[in-house]
Amino acid sequence: MNREKNTQTIYFFIIGILLAVIFFYFSRRVLTPFFIAFALAYLLDPVTDRLESLKISRTFAVLILMTGVFLLITGIGLLIFPLLKLQAEHLVHNLPSYIAVMQEWIYPLLGVVGDPEKIQGILNREFLKVGELPLKALSSVTSILWGSVAGLFSFILLLANLVIIPVAMFYLLRDYDLINKKVLDFAPARSREQVLSLIKEMDGVLAGFVRGQLMVGLIMAGLYSAGLFFCGTPMSLFIGLLAGLANLVPYLGLVVGFVPAAILTFMQTQDWVLVFGVAGVFAVVQGLEGMIITPRIVGEKIGLHPVAIILAVLLGAEFFGLVGVIVSVPAAAALNVLFTHGLNEYKSSSFYTS
């Protein structure tokens, strides 16, 4: 009898997970701004609690905090985006000379694989297409945004999300403790302590990741950007930010950062010493991350295998786009806690032992 009951419980649990996945998949466009709002509320709840402990009402504390976050993001944007714009303009301006360098570098190798003149003609046409990419991209973006109903609808949806996110974030942050209590009330009374313990463990894993790994990524982004700047790498700020934040996935930052940095540095300077300097920057920063930065800031790892992290990022990108990429790893870490507890419960059940 117990075995049949346990089997039914497992079946219901699996069916529930499948239904939840289907629901989230078909509702992903609607739910995405609420996921972002919840993630921000989760991040800012400890700060709100600290302000509330100073005898400030929670509503007023949330307003103060959201205003501060808005001013901080605006200030960072005003500081970083002009630099990114300047570096992007420099890259576009120098793109023809970069293409010429590539042609000079590749041409001596053409005789090894075939008729040099024929291959050179093909490459000239392809490089010409590459040189036209910035104008084509700008034309495509303009056409999508202003030349079609679908593009206009997407733009309106983006504006709506920019309104929904702060509004939902305000209410979630204001009622965060009440929401937690209501969610906990759904658990059966006999299992409430166990559920609370599980939630605290998940919170510890998420807090350690969010407050630790993201800080590590930002530090690495700063180090990469500074090092690449001194090596004369075009788009050093953008590549540094990309490599640092991509480090959330093991070794991804090294791949997406080093390859374009080395190529652009060579095209800009044609100096192999500086290319080796770029390699040195990535080697030093990776060494600092492994030996000093991560152990001091994050401490213990989140308990996920690198392959599981890569799979989580790919699934997050497939279901929720850029937002999915950002939240996939912490979400996978939380699910890993649930999976571990569920596996332990399953192994201790009569269904497994009988």
Q: Report yes or no: 244 and 218 within 8 Å, Cβ to Cβ.
A: yes
pLDDT in tens, 62-104: 999 999 988 988 888 888 778 777 777 777 777 777 667 666 6
pLDDT beyond 80 at 132: no
Beta-carbon neighbour count of residue 17 at 10 Å?
Answer: 10
Distance (Å, whole) CA 264 – CA 222: 19
**pLDDT recorded at residue 73:** 84
- 36-40, 199-203, 258-262: range with lowest mean pLDDT: 199-203
- For residue 126, name the pLDDT band (cuts at 50, 70, 90): low
Q: Which of 201-205, 224-228, 349-353 has the highest mean pLDDT?
A: 224-228
pTM confidence score: 0.65
Average pLDDT for 332-343: 80
- For residue 109, name the pLDDT band (cuts at 50, 70, 90): low
Distance (Å, whole) CA 255 – CA 246: 9
Average pLDDT for 314-330: 76
Q: Return contacts of 91-99, CB within 8 angstroms, 24+ apart.
A: 91/234, 91/235, 91/264, 92/134, 94/234, 94/267, 94/268, 95/130, 95/131, 95/134, 96/131, 97/267, 98/264, 98/267, 98/268, 99/127, 99/130, 99/131
Average pLDDT of the chain to the nearest whole number: 76
pLDDT in tens, 19-30: 877 887 777 778
pLDDT beyond 60 at 114: no
Element (H, E) at 170: helix 149-174
Tell me the percentage of the chain whose pLDDT exceeds 70: 74
pLDDT in tens, 208-258: 777 677 788 889 999 999 999 998 888 888 889 888 888 777 677 888 889
Query: How many residues are present in the chain?
Result: 354
* Among 19, 66, 41, residue whose Cα is nearest residue 180: 41
Distance (Å, whole) CA 38 – CA 123: 50
Side chain identity, residue 254: L
Distance (Å, whole) CA 298 – CA 309: 17
Distance (Å, whole) CA 25 – CA 42: 23
Average pLDDT for 328-334: 80
> How open is the CA angle 106-108-111, to the nearest 5 degrees?
105
**pLDDT recorded at residue 30:** 80
